[in-house]
Amino acid sequence: MDFDALISGLDRHTLDGITRGSIYALVALGYTMVYGVMKLINFAHSEVFMVGTWAVLGVYTVLGVGAGESLGIVIAATLLALVGAMVASAGTALAVERIAYRPLRKKGAPPLIFLITGIGCSMVLVELFGQVFEVFFGPPFGRVTVNIPSVLETKELFTIPGIDLTITNTRVIIIVGAVLMMLALDTFVNKSRLGRGVRAVAQDPDTASLMGVNQNRVIMLVFVLGGAMAGVAALLYTIQYDITKFDIGFIIGLKAFTAAVLGGIGNLRGALVGGLLLGIAEVYASTIWSSEWANVTAFVVLVVVLMFRPTGLLGESLGKARA
């Protein structure tokens, strides 16, 4: 128990927590959007994120970039990787919807069945990268940890005077990137025509259909958007941690899902709040005790919050958001 360490470096730990939580929040968006529209936990979403990290590696490999490139190349490569990851993740999400969920939707299967096909899809995707691709293409696929070159190297940008807090470029990119994406998505859902369709289906699918909203198209859109956000998260993740592996999606997905529920599943801003809160709680707990208690803390926070606010901090309301 080391509360002194927490108090003395509170600013630093909070920043660490926000960094960690930003990635949770971006992945949580995918869970939240799908849930908001379909009332369904997309268990394969963690693997949608995982595919994104591989796409980043793929783009870097194709471009042949590594550490220490000039600024122009770094920016270009990173943007290309961003596009690659977003496309790959969105594509994966769409494929999951097509293969595992749409046939069930047609049959009107109960939600539990979607859960099992989601888990099945998740296993298939994990095994594709951990086993199948290795057999067909060899390394870097397989069950080992793979390094992703730090094209975008970590550099200190500035130090906040007074509290002596060093800000690095990667931190700025992660936090700003996450918040920007969140704002963009929020605006899209609330302001655009398509977004109105999403909200309409989330509120009342039958009425939305009667009003001429194509439900299938809205669902596809939701998967694509959620997938793209997971792609962004994948890029930010690789910038920060430099690795990928066939099974990295699982833990991030678990946390992101927890974050989504914490904030109020179905609520976009809730995903942000939940992600950040979860990240901060974990870092605080890791500082006071050690990281071995971080996951327990995360789940305890979840249970406590749900006991007092049974629909999460901000409540569930993709449909109701500024309706």
**What are the backbone angles phi and psi of residue 5, rounded to the nearest 5°?**
-60, -35
**Least distance in Å: CB of 283 to other proteins?**
5
Compute how many residues bind other proteins; rule: CB under 8 A: 93
- The minimum distance between CB 139 and other proteins, in angstroms, equals 8
Rule CB under 8 A: say whether 317 interacts with other proteins.
no
Q: Is residue 45 within the footprint of other proteins (CB under 8 A)?
A: no
Instruction: Report if residue 251 touches other proteins, rule: CB under 8 A.
Output: yes
Among 42, 46, 89, 240, binds other proteins (CB under 8 A): 240
Give 23: exposed, middle or buried? Use CB within 10 Å, 0-12, 13-18, 19+: buried
Interface with other proteins (CB under 8 A), residue from 120, 165, 173, 179: 120
Would you count residue 196 as binding other proteins (CB under 8 A)?
A: no
Cα(234)–Cα(225) distance, rounded to whole angstroms?
14
What amino acid is encoded at 100 in this protein? Answer: A
Q: Can residue 203 be called a binding residue for other proteins (CB under 8 A)?
A: no
42 binds other proteins (CB under 8 A): no
Q: Does 298 bind other proteins (CB under 8 A)?
A: yes
Residues between 133 and 162 with contacts to other proteins, criterion CB under 8 A: 139-140, 143-150, 154, 156
Q: Is 245 in the site for other proteins (CB under 8 A)?
A: yes
CB 178 → other proteins: shortest distance, Å?
Answer: 14
**Residue 16 sits in the site that holds other proteins (CB under 8 A):** yes
In whole angstroms, how close is the CB of 10 to other proteins at the nearest point?
11
Q: Does 116 bind other proteins (CB under 8 A)?
A: yes
Question: Binding of other proteins at residue 104 (CB under 8 A)?
Answer: yes
Interface with other proteins in residues 278-297 (CB under 8 A): 283, 286-287, 290-296
- Which own/partner pairs from 101-106 qualify as long-range (CB within 8 Å, at least 24 positions apart)? 101/38, 101/40, 101/42, 102/216, 105/38, 105/219
Of residues 208-237, those binding other proteins (CB under 8 A): 209-210, 214-216, 237
Q: Does 37 bind other proteins (CB under 8 A)?
A: no
Residue 90 interacting with other proteins (CB under 8 A): no
Given 32, 46, 78, 258, the residue binding other proteins (CB under 8 A): 258
The yes or no reply on residue 49 touching other proteins (CB under 8 A) is no
Binder among 109, 167, 179, 220 for other proteins (CB under 8 A) = 109
Place of tokens 């995360």: 298
Residue 58 contacts other proteins per CB under 8 A: no
Indicate whether 95 belongs to the interface with other proteins (CB under 8 A): no
C-beta of residue 119 within 8 angstroms of C-beta of residue 139: no
- The only residue of 117, 200, 233, 272 in contact with other proteins, by rule CB under 8 A: 117
**One of 9, 76, 315, 320 touching other proteins (CB under 8 A):** 9
